[in-house]
Amino acid sequence: MSHSSAPRMRKCRQKKEEEEEEPLGGDMEDLFNEKETQNIRTSLLDWYDENQRDLPWRKKTRSGTEKERRAYEVWVSEIMLQQTRVQTVMEYYKRWMHKWPTIYDLAQASLEEVNEMWAGLGYYRRARFLLEGAKMVVAGKEGFPNKASSLTKVKGIGEYTAGAIASIAFNEAVPVVDGNVIRVLARLKAISANPKDRLTVKNFWKLAAQLVDPSRPGDFNQSLMELGATLCSVSKPSCSSCPISSQCRAYSLFQENRSIPVTEYPTKVVKAKPKVDFCCVCVLEIQIQEKNQSGGRFVLVKRPEEGLLAGLWEFPSVILDKEASLAARRKAINLYLKEAFHLEPEETCTVVSRKELGEFVHIFTHIRRKIYVELLVVQLTEGGTIDLFKDEAEDTLTWKCVDSDVLSTMGLTSAVRKVYSMVEAHKQDLSVSSNRTAISRKRRIT
Ligand code: SF4
C-alpha cells in the first residue's frame, strides 16, 4: 500500500487493455534485464523489512479463511487512501473497522450509515461503491474473489485495487501501479513520456509486472509504493539513502549533469483548469410559534442519487454560473424556496431574521465553487401553510428538519459542516452581544 503524506494519484490507474503487441514507445525503450530485476527486488524488500511504517492496515497476511478478512481490510484501506492523506485515513480506517469489522458486517449497512462514516473524506462515490461491492461479494456464491482478474468484476474495484488485494491478501504475483509507483518507475528508467498517456500507462504496468517478486508479491508491491511515498518523493527525493539508487537512471543522469534533477521525471502534466461556479446556500431555520421551543429546526435537502455528492444531505442551495449581487442571490433563493417548499418569506411565513454570514471557496474534484452563506430564520404557526416536520420524501425532493443537536452529530460533508460552523459562530456572537446589552441595561437601571 502506498502511504504518502501527499494525496495519491490513483486516477491514473487504467484498465489493462486487451493484450496486443505494441512497442514500448516514447523513451521507454526497454524493460529491466534479469540482473536489474533481481537487484531491485532484493534491495527493495530488504529496505521495506527494515523501514516500513507502522500503519493500522498493515498486518501479517493470514492463512485460510482469514485471508478474506485481510482482503477486506486491504480493500477498505486502499479505497480510503485514494486521493486522501495517510494521516487523515488512519482515524477513519480505525472507526470503520470498529463498526464493520468484516465484509458481512458492511454488507448489512445502509448507504446513509456509510455516508455518515465517510463524511469529511470526500469523493463520496468511493464509499457508495465500497458498499455496493461488499453487497455484491456477499450475495455471490463464490466467496471473496481471490484473483485480480475476478476482483475487477466487483463494483468499485479497478485494476489497481484488484492488484493490491490479490497480491497482499492472496499472494498472487500481479503488479500495482499508482502515482507513487509511476514516479519511482519513471525515475528508475528516466522516462519522459507523458505519464497520463494511455500507452505510457500501459507500459508502466508492464514494467511493474516485470519487477513484482513472485515469492513475496504483496510485500514487494508495498515496498515500491512505500519508496515512492517516502524517499522518492515528488519534490525532495532522498537519493543518497535510496536502496535502489545504483539502478536508477535518473539519478545516474543527474550525477553526470547536475542541471537535470531527478525531479524532472515523471514529466509534469499541466492540469486542466477547474470549472468555476457559485453557490448560494440558505440555512433555513424554522421556528414554530406555539411550540415555544428554545431553538429552531434546520431544513436539510438530500442531493440526487447520481452525480456530485450523490445522496448526501445539505442545506437548501442554488448553483449560479456567475457572480451575482446580494439582491440577485436572494431572488434566486426565494424562487427556490417557493418552488421546493411553497415558502415565500413575508408571504407565507414571518421572517425573524435574514443575515448574510459570509462566503468561502470549496474545491470539489473538478469544480472551484464560491459559496455564499445566509441564515434565514422564519416563524411558522403550527398547522400553518406547510408542515415542515414530516420527514417523508416528496416526489422530486427529499428533505427533513433536524434540530441543532442532531445536526451536530450527523455525518456531513466538509463544505456543509463549514457552513454550519458559520451559523454556530454567528449565534455565539449574537448571544455574547445580547448578554452584554442585558448587563449594561441592568447597570443603567441600578
Ligand atoms: S535514486 Fe532517487 S530518484 Fe531514483 S528511485 Fe531512488 S529516490 Fe527515486
315, 281 contact by CB (below 8 A): yes
Tell me which of 36, 78, 285, 374 is the catalytic residue: 78
> Residue 196 corresponds to which cell in the numbers above?
497520463
Whether 250 lines ligand 1, by a CB cut-off of 6 Å, is yes
Strands (DSSP E) contained in 350-445 are: 350-363, 367-380, 398-403
340 and 420 together in one domain: yes
What is the number of the ligand 1 atom nearest to the C-alpha of 231? Answer: 7
Listed residue (405, 312, 401) closest to 114, CA to CA: 312
Residue 73 sits at the vertex; the CA angle it makes with 61 and 223, to the nearest 5 degrees, is: 55
Q: How far apart, in whole angstroms, are the C-alpha atoms of residue 386 and residue 231?
A: 61
Q: What's CA 299's distance to the chain center, in Å?
A: 26
Provide the b/e sequence for 148-185 (b: ≥16 CB within 10 Å): beebbebebbbbbbbbbbbbbbbbbbbbbbbbbbbbbb
315, 282 contact by CB (below 8 A): yes
289 and 361 together in one domain: yes
Q: Measured between alpha carbons, how far is residue 354 from residues 3, 111, 149, 316, 415 in Å?
A: 46, 34, 57, 15, 21
Please name the amino acid found at residue 139: A
179 and 290 together in one domain: no
CATH value at residue 167: 1.10.340.30
Is residue 3 in a domain? no
Task: Using the 3D structure, point to which of 264, 288, 316 is the last residue of a domain.
Answer: 264
Is residue 269 in a domain? no
What is the number of the ligand 1 atom nearest to the C-alpha of 244? Answer: 6
Query: What is the model's pLDDT at position 25?
Result: 41
Is residue 417 in a domain? yes
> Residue 275 corresponds to which cell in the numbers above?
470549472
What is the number of the ligand 1 atom nearest to the C-alpha of 239? Answer: 2
Phi, psi of 41 (to 5 degrees): -60, -55
DSSP strand pairing (367-380 vs 350-363): antiparallel
231 by DSSP, 3-state: which?
coil
24, 203 contact by CB (below 8 A): yes
Residue 277 sits at the vertex; the CA angle it makes with 271 and 278, to the nearest 5 degrees, is: 145
Model-wide pTM > 0.85: no
* Eight-state DSSP code of residue 67: H
Is residue 1 in a domain? no
Q: How far apart, in whole angstroms, are the C-alpha atoms of residue 61 and residue 71?
A: 9
Is residue 293 in a domain? yes
Q: Please name every residue paired with 378 in a beta bridge, in sequence order, or none if there are none.
A: 286, 351
135 and 196 together in one domain: yes
Q: How far apart, in whole angstroms, are the C-alpha atoms of residue 6 and residue 235?
A: 11
Is residue 446 in a domain? no
* Residue 278 CA to ligand 1 centre (angstroms): 43
184 and 313 together in one domain: no
Query: What is the model's pLDDT at position 382?
Result: 61
312 and 215 together in one domain: no
Q: How far apart, in whole angstroms, are the C-alpha atoms of residue 225 and residue 177?
A: 9
Query: What is the model's pLDDT at position 293?
Result: 58
Is residue 4 in a domain? no
Task: Using the 3D structure, point to which of 264, 299, 318 is the last residue of a domain.
Answer: 264
Q: What's CA 406's distance to the chain center, in Å?
A: 24
Q: Is 78 a catalytic residue?
A: yes
Burial class for 355, CB neighbours closer than 10 Å (0-12, 13-18, 19+): middle
Whether 228 lines ligand 1, by a CB cut-off of 6 Å, is no
CATH value at residue 365: 3.90.79.10
Whether 187 lines ligand 1, by a CB cut-off of 6 Å, is yes
> Residue 8 corresponds to which cell in the numbers above?
495519491
Query: What is the model's pLDDT at position 23?
Result: 42
Is residue 252 in a domain? yes
Query: What is the model's pLDDT at position 409?
Result: 80
325 and 248 together in one domain: no
Q: State how many domains the chain has.
A: 2
Task: Using the 3D structure, point to which of 264, 284, 305 is the last residue of a domain.
Answer: 264
347 and 257 together in one domain: no
**Domain span holding position 311:** 275-441
**What is the mean pLDDT of each successive set of 10 residues along the chain, which is 446 residues long?**
43 39 47 94 98 88 77 96 91 97 96 90 91 96 92 96 96 96 97 93 96 97 96 96 97 95 94 91 86 76 83 93 92 91 81 95 89 93 54 65 87 91 91 69 62
Q: How far apart, in whole angstroms, are the C-alpha atoms of residue 182 and residue 180?
A: 5
Query: What is the model's pLDDT at position 441?
Result: 65
70 and 201 together in one domain: yes
* Eight-state DSSP code of residue 247: G
DSSP string over 260-310 = S-GGG-SPPPPPPPPEEEEEEEEEEEEEETTTT-SS-EEEEEEPPSSSTTT
Query: What is the model's pLDDT at position 383?
Result: 59
Whether 181 lines ligand 1, by a CB cut-off of 6 Å, is no
315 and 383 together in one domain: yes
What Rg value do the Cα atoms of the chain yield, rounded? 27
Q: How far apart, in whole angstroms, are the C-alpha atoms of residue 40 and residue 43?
A: 5
76 and 133 together in one domain: yes
> Residue 14 corresponds to which cell in the numbers above?
487504467
Q: How far apart, in whole angstroms, are the C-alpha atoms of residue 84 and residue 10?
A: 10
* Residue 232 CA to ligand 1 centre (angstroms): 5
Residue whose entry in the numeric block shows the C-alpha cell 457559485: 278
* Residue 167 CA to ligand 1 centre (angstroms): 24
296 and 224 together in one domain: no
287, 384 contact by CB (below 8 A): no
Listed residue (402, 12, 438) closest to 204, CA to CA: 12
Whether 245 lines ligand 1, by a CB cut-off of 6 Å, is yes
* Residue 233 CA to ligand 1 centre (angstroms): 9
Q: What's CA 309's distance to the chain center, in Å?
A: 11
